[in-house]
Amino acid sequence: MVTLLTRRILLRGALGATALHVSRVMAAPPDPRPDSRIALVIGNGAYRAAPLKNPPGDANAVAKKLRDLGYEVTLRQNTSLRDLIEALREFSVRAPKASVRMLFYAGHGVQVKGRNYLVPVDADPKSEEDIPRQSADVGEFVDRLSAIRTGTNIVVLDACRVNPFAGGVIVGPDGRRLKFRGATPGGLATVDAPVGTLVAFSTAPNGVALDGSDGEHSVYARHLLAHLQTPGLTIEQLFKRVRIGVAQDTGRVQVPWESSSLTADFCFKPDTGGRCG
């Protein structure tokens, strides 16, 4: 278990290095290559409490799709707190040189006092107050990306909306008892995406994100994978299709949503004429 002191040291080093890098960027703006696209893909499933079946496979499949689309992908599976923070730090340092920057995270995520956290597999909180010390703050990561004045940021969170350490089930539309990523419906805090950023969530506020009970992927990842390589499909239309598919498959138990402040058209795969839309 990473102690509070160790966590503070890790965060201080991560944020300090990033702050120094960003200050240099502001002094001398980077010149990202137009075709430079990077992605950090994380799949956490091997939790000590409330393990999840799908995230590692979801992450593998998303990483492969993105590589096929020309992204330089860093894939991390079942990350400890140290590994999770280091992966986010490394990505933040590389980000200013890329024109498109994407994070895909599958695993547990929770809200504590209005802040959203990605939960590493070695987390073992005894109370709500332990979670900020044992997890990675989503808001801090998004803030770091928003300091970059050029390019596009995409953050996709296939994570639960509630505390995952009590376990639970709900009854799906077909009568099956479905394990979900949390205890009772609660909700991640709303995220206002900064300019140039889209943040996509696998379920709506106060909703639940289902872990696939009989399939290879979560219901959200399955629909995302189905549309990532559609030529000319704008990112807004892509996530609309994902939302429709997930809502239909779950009987509206799970309805994805997005927060976007994108100022230019974007698609993962342009059409044959190099266009989106």
**73-117 pLDDT, tens digit each:** 999 999 999 999 999 999 999 999 999 999 999 998 888 888 889
pTM over the 0.85 mark:
no
Q: What is the pLDDT of residue 34?
A: 59
If you average pLDDT over residues 208-215, what whole number do you get? 67
Q: Which two tokens stand for residue 256?
A: 């994805």
* Position with higher pLDDT, 111 vs 176: 111
The model's confidence at residue 164, banded by pLDDT at 50, 70 and 90, is low
Rounded distance, CA 82 to CA 204, Å? 29
Report DSSP state, residue 267. Answer: B
Domain count for the chain:
1
- The predicted structure's pLDDT at residue 48: 82
Domain span at residue 247 reads 4-26+40-260
CA distance 24 to 31: 13
- Is 268 a member of any domain? no
**Beta strand extents in 195-263 (DSSP E only):** 197-201, 257-260
User: Looking at the domain assignment, is residue 104 inside a domain?
Assistant: yes
Confirm whether 270 is domain-assigned.
no
- Whether residue 33 is contained in a domain is answered as no
Q: Which residue has the higher pLDDT, 75 or 20?
A: 75
3-state SS, residue 268: coil
AA letter at 211: D
Is 35 a domain residue? no
Q: What is the DSSP string of 176-198?
A: -EEEBSSSSS--PPP--PPTTEE
Which residue in this structure is represented by tokens 């807004």?
Answer: 236
CATH code where residue 247 lies: 3.40.50.1460
Q: For the segment 33-63, what is each residue's pLDDT rounded down to a tens digit? A: 656 999 999 999 999 878 889 999 999 999 9
